[in-house]
Homo-oligomer: A and B are copies of this chain.
Amino acid sequence: MPMIGRTVWAIPGGHIPLESSGREPEHLSQEQLCVLNATDQDAHLRITIYYTDRDPVGPYPLTVAARRTRHVRYNDLIAPEAIPLDCDYASVVESDVPVVVQVIRQDTSQAENALMSVIAFPVM
């Protein structure tokens, strides 16, 4: 298996919808950070959250074990501080080993869910 991924990724379009409809937890409005660590070493991630009108916050630490994937809700990044709902943000993910990063937003603020996803931008 070749070395899979990059060590820095960026996602400009972050936003967690304020409202939800439908059954929880599966229909909670949310934004997920999905990380694949296909290497044989644990990946230690540092996530930085950028805002429109104040300084960036972070790093948020996150570990993804060797040969595992981890799908984390941005809502669950709570230290150093939670990301406000209904607030524009961007995120940068740095890792000590190569990983691959995808973001998925589920919006259930209207009665039926909407989905969108991007592979994050591979910086280096």
B residues in contact with A50, CB < 8 Å: 36, 38, 67-69
When all copies of this chain in the complex are counted, the total is: 4
What is the CA–CA distance of A108 and B67 in the complex, to the nearest angstrom? 30
The interface residues of chain B lying within 8 Å CB-to-CB of A53 are 68
Contact with B along A62-75 (1 / 0, CB 8 A): 00000111110000
Contacts of A109 in B (CB 8 A): 26-27, 113
How long is the Cα–Cα vector from A107 to B70 in the complex, in angstroms?
A: 20
**A71 neighbours in B (Cβ, 8 Å):** 12-13, 15, 52, 88
> Given A2-B123, A69-B50, does the pair A34, B55 have CB atoms closer than 8 Å?
no
In the complex, the answer to whether A4 meets B12 with C-beta atoms within 8 Å is: no
In the complex, besides A51-B69, A55-B67, 10 extra interface pairs with C-beta distance below 8 angstroms are A13-B34, A18-B26, A38-B90, A38-B92, A50-B67, A50-B69, A52-B70, A100-B123, A116-B116, A118-B119
